[in-house]
Structure 1
């Protein structure tokens, strides 16, 4: 029988005041997203979907690198493969595009299994380069496959049966589901017993293994989950864009963007990807017209954070002042307050 422990001077709790506020805000934000088609214009809706994709992508890469210890610079392989699978199912097999967005997740899962088997013995930069090679192989293979449009790409013709309003509504609701599965799923995972093992593995894999954590199995599951989550991002993004090419789906800029968001926001935290996604999205809207100079500034900011603030913006603010938007550990609070 499990007993709860109540210290004399306080209570043991997993939730915090900040955590309750963050969950309330997140629920309100999702409900607001669901209502967008009835009051917002199409440009606003597309921007919200795009931001949702950035946030989900950052959360998946953070789970992979920040907790699993696997730094990948080839996650665009899973994004592009899922998007191409969705286009092929819809255009060539007559499957409804929204149903194809779910079925196409089998493609990144099937790609992740042999990829991990091939790269699992590699560490550090060797693992990272290996993932990039896999992404390039996928890009070159699809670029030379006429059935998939070769280098010119494909258009999602199957979406023509839907009106603009119906497309926006379906994509938006799918984006909400994507956020629940990726961001919400990460939060649920890290609050479970597997999350404790992941945190231990993040801090010291050897020590975690000595305490009975099956590090190899856990890493594989994280790699597989991150691949499927990244594939879902590709499905939602290109379901909205309606056009896909190898150079777009397997663009290395995807990983550059996600590394910026996670590194600057705070790797190995749930709050960091959210902060990084907001920062990147705002900077992209305000300064993207500056072209190369804008990208150089983002790169320099990432470098400065890596050198002088490795825990990112969240580590320098929320971590220092004990803010906890998405608490995953147990905390001791006083009876009067937190």
Structure 2
């Protein structure tokens, strides 16, 4: 048998890797426009609208942080409000007690959840499944009880951010708008960037099968630790921004379990392990809260039943159902191998 010589041209790889899609390019363009629109809100929106959008952005940020924890790292937490409250209190103490510029205090306050997340993780990481979830709730309750008994944060009476009176309404609107843009850019844009990196590949492998991922060289423990700390900082940012807009904080509101409840609802209904699902779920929750929030307990029962139904019959959420029919991701993170077509003479 005679061997057939292979030219260098014919030895070249016959495939190319596609990482972006048409729908992804359109979504990234709209995302950039949305970030710009958020930053320019003082020039096109009223104060009430800005506050409403800020609340919506906080929902998105908290839900995406929970999505990264549960959807990719496999850490189901019901106590992320611990870091929201800790960062919120840190911002109030820095601004109100020590006279730090409140907008600079927001950035400085993020050190607190980052530091607190380290011992919390090493305390909880040995727990698994529901035990981990219960442990995170216990930690949040401990934070609430501690803040209730600390005199230098005014104990259970809470604190007011009276230093904000030094700024005009327009200045506060500018600050809130920029904070909204930065928060969405860091939580949504940062998550997307991370998921498209080599760490994202490891995270997706860990999500699918942690044991198999570890056998292929993925440091599962280190990656889970990184996600836990990053989620704590992201939730802390949302807490600082939210309570700055509220101008008041107390233990009941700072460590309210409702934050974890809404994050779980948003991610479960919208679609776990997808940025698209977070955006869809947040829109559903925000509209439902505005339309049916006045109904009180019955409104929460309906949301709970909806979450259970989705968990039983559509585990991938609304976005999962949509993506089965149309392969048009808004934030594509998969890599596709595309065969090169040979050029004919």
Tell me if both proteins adopt one fold, taking TM over 0.5 as the criterion. yes
Pick the aligned partner of 1:242 from 227, 247, 252.
Answer: 247
Distance in 2, Cα, partners of 1:226 & 1:213: 20
Secondary structure of the residue that 2:126 maps to in structure 1?
Answer: coil
Pick the aligned partner of 1:323 from 321, 324, 328.
Answer: 328
Seen in structure 2, the aligned counterparts of structure 1 residues 6 and 153 have a Cα distance that, compared at 3 Å, is: farther
- Structure 1: 4+ residue segments shifted above 6 A: none
Seen in structure 2, the aligned counterparts of structure 1 residues 250 and 16 have a Cα distance that, compared at 3 Å, is: same
Give the RMSD, CA atoms, in angstroms: 1.5
Distance in 2, Cα, partners of 1:43 & 1:318: 35
Seen in structure 2, the aligned counterparts of structure 1 residues 163 and 212 have a Cα distance that, compared at 3 Å, is: same
Equivalence for 2:181: 176
Q: Is the 8 A contact 2:76 2:129 kept in 1?
A: yes
Distance in 2, Cα, partners of 1:97 & 1:59: 25
Distance in 2, Cα, partners of 1:328 & 1:250: 34
Distance in 2, Cα, partners of 1:310 & 1:61: 16
**Where does 1:95-174 land on structure 2 (aligned, <5 Å)?**
95-174=100-179
The CA deviation at 1:334 is 8.1
Distance in 2, Cα, partners of 1:40 & 1:285: 19
Distance in 1, Cα, partners of 2:52 & 2:218: 41
Distance in 1, Cα, partners of 2:85 & 2:14: 51
Seen in structure 2, the aligned counterparts of structure 1 residues 5 and 79 have a Cα distance that, compared at 3 Å, is: farther
Distance in 1, Cα, partners of 2:115 & 2:325: 41
Pick the aligned partner of 2:270 from 265, 273, 279.
Answer: 265
The CA deviation at 1:291 is 1.3
The CA deviation at 1:146 is 1.6
Seen in structure 2, the aligned counterparts of structure 1 residues 117 and 4 have a Cα distance that, compared at 3 Å, is: farther
Equivalence for 1:62: 67
**Where does 1:1-338 land on structure 2 (aligned, <5 Å)?**
5-7=13-15, 12-332=17-337
Distance in 2, Cα, partners of 1:170 & 1:87: 16
Residue range with higher mean Cα deviation, 23-32 or 76-85: 23-32
Seen in structure 2, the aligned counterparts of structure 1 residues 4 and 57 have a Cα distance that, compared at 3 Å, is: farther
Distance in 2, Cα, partners of 1:5 & 1:287: 57
1:8-59 alpha-carbon deviations (Å, 9 max, x no partner):
xxx5310001100100111111111122111211111111111111011111
Aligned length: 331
Higher Cα Rg, which structure: 2
Q: Is the 8 A contact 1:86 1:100 kept in 2?
A: yes
Distance in 1, Cα, partners of 2:14 & 2:38: 40
Q: Is the 8 A contact 1:5 1:12 kept in 2?
A: no
Structure 2 gaps of 5+ residues are: 1-10
Secondary structure of the residue that 2:17 maps to in structure 1?
Answer: strand
